[in-house]
Amino acid sequence: MNRQWIKARTAIALGLPNIGRAVGYRVGVRLGVNKVRRLHAAVPAAPFFAASSLPPLDAPVVSNWVHEAKWFGRWSVAVSDTPPDWFANPITGARVARPELPWWQIPDFDPQVGDIKAIWEASRMDWVLAFAQRVRQGDAAALARLNSWLADWSKRNAPYIGPNWKCGQEASIRVMHLIAAAMMLGQVTAMLPGLRALIELHLQRIAPTVSYAMAQDNNHGTSEAAALFIGGTLLAQYGVARAQGWATVGRRMLENRAARLIGEQGTFSQYSANYHRLMLDTFSWAETWRRLVKAPAFSDTWYARARAATAWLHAMTDPKTGDVPNVGANDGARLLPLSDSPYRDFRPSVQLAMAVFGGKAVYADCERAIAMSKWLGVPARTENAAEPGNLQADDGGFAVLRQGPAMALLRYPRFRFRPCQADALHVDLWLDGASHLRDAGTFSYNTEPRWLDYFGGVRGHNTVQFDEREQMPRLSRFLFGDWLKTETLEPLHGDTSKVTMAASYVDRLGARHNRHLCLDEAQLEVRDQVTGFAKRAVLRWRLRPGQWRLEPSATDAGFVARGDRGECLALTADVPVVRCELVEGWESLHYLEKTPAPVLELEIDRGGTLVSRYYWTT
């Protein structure tokens, strides 16, 4: 199919109004028409925070930012009392060449610097929260450090100059963290002038570009909406002229984003577990703030979508470890890191959202899970939420099947919004909190094309690849074309002995994949019917890292892969098998991290049925 025609179809799917907003924004910034180009503000003066007016809180403080910090929850970077270099990538040592340029003159993808997110990470101001916790507990040295770092950041990142002003969402995360710190220290109604000025100049940066954020149909819009609402309502009480207008726009955007981007079964537009967490934390903080300042409630629809999004993430989260399937894009983003929970522990976010939107507790015996709620002043709940069960979220193509110790995830194509990965009919399998069949993850947005294609493409998922092509053609770094559609669907059905579900699709060249899952307490059976391809179809299973051996089956004409922990994956086919072998693959559990992972591949050259059985008891 002609590539230009594919682009045209994809543009229609994205929405012509959204494309118009995005193009208008870029043209407006380039030509200097957008108001963001005419912004000016003075560097705010320290101090920003005073000693806490509240008694110490019965909650642990985070250990991050004392002697080291974790970039993207993974990479250890040494820190001291001296502020970090705000323009350096501490992982690679590269530095922005000209940080004195206005932000719109600095490229998003500078090959000399590497991924700009590594520059932005320190300026998300997680450290403001960490230092504020210590100030609340009476640490005078932490107060001095907090004010010193903020003064240094403000001086070196003069308003609207340098890379840390490039992104409205990054500015929004700073606003939410600064105001959360003020709330934790009892300084919302007694805020120092320096902090008020710092928040105001951030809102000035966010407001002129919200149309671009809305055009993305992702967490840019939810983050910027929350920052305008929270920051606007805060500054309105100090008589800032534009503050009420910002708050009104933020509220309207929050309502719009919830209704548009969150489905009735709770799926968020980005089809990503981590982006879902970021959105849900944003909504939880917006509602917590609304209650604190006694602002009018949001609409019934807003709360209904927030509750659905909470149930979605609750269903995905393992109660023992807090980990979730590594599904969808994951750029290391995390809002309000107020506990020492590992980056991949989603329980604090589920606990907070369930308390705020459901009035219930989830992990009441897990101190790390409840610390986030404590620091935000959310009262403890006495009623416990029900254990997560099966979930079919047809609004985004996610199904969670549970039976005994096992959880399986089926990802099928229901794309109302642009897909972030080619993961149609991908399957995850979890046993007792550990991922046995897994998604490769993301790795990086700014990397070689081969890694973009690997992690975001079909090879990074447990599904079938036809004729060595992608399920959908990649049009750009963040965009696929010819979005797949589910052809047939057998809804999730469960009883006391097993849970089943099936779905199928046909790709743009006529290849068809029908996948049927059956999960019981001893095994997961996956039956794949594949037809319509020209030369070959390759089934991949991405296995838990460890020692695996592959051998012919003793009972049929298939193959058996055995792991060093007693796992067993048996494969059979009703057509000749061209190849079955264990190969080295890759996975990324954290942003900018990739590690080897075993992958089992089975190849056939004609249509047929493949049966995979993963046993954990014999």
pLDDT tens digits, one per residue of 342-375: 999 999 999 999 999 999 999 988 999 999 999 9
Print the SS3 string covering 183-224: HHCCCCCCCCHHHHHHHHHHHHHHHHHHHHHHHCCCHHHHHH
d(CA 117, CA 108): 9
Place of tokens 């809102």: 203
- The domains of the chain, with CATH numbers, are 391-615 (2.70.98.70)
Cα 313 off chain centre by? 11
* Pick from 521, 516, 452: nearest CA to 480: 452
d(CA 515, CA 376): 44
d(CA 366, CA 177): 24
Residue 1: the pLDDT is 54
* Pick from 382, 325, 324, 330: nearest CA to 350: 324
Please enumerate in sequence order all residues whose Cβ is within 8 A of that of 91, keeping only pairs 6 or more positions apart, or say none: 71, 75, 77, 114, 118, 592
Residue 324: the pLDDT is 97
Print the SS3 string covering 301-339: HHHHHHHHHHHHHHHHCCCCCCCCCCCCCCCCCCCCCCC
What does the DSSP assignment read for 554-614? SSSSSEEEEETTS-EEEEEESS--SEEEEEEEEE-SSTT--EEEEEEEEEESS-EEEEEEE
Per residue in 441-469, pLDDT tens?
999 998 999 999 999 999 999 999 999 99
| β-strands 523-531, 537-542 pairing | unpaired
- pTM for the model stands at 0.97
CB 203 within 8 A of CB 228: yes
Structure tokens at 419: 């897909």
Print the SS3 string covering 365-400: CCHHHHHHHHHCCCCCCCCECCCCCCEEECCCCEEE
d(CA 398, CA 400): 7
d(CA 175, CA 262): 24
Which residues, given as ranges, of the chain have pLDDT below 50?
618
User: What 8-state DSSP symbol labels residue 617?
Assistant: -
Is the alpha carbon torsion for 75, 78, 81, 82 positive or negative? Answer: negative
Could you give phi then psi for residue 433, rounded to 5 degrees? Answer: 85, 0
**Angle at the Cα of 131 from the Cα atoms of 127 and 132, rounded to 5 degrees:** 115
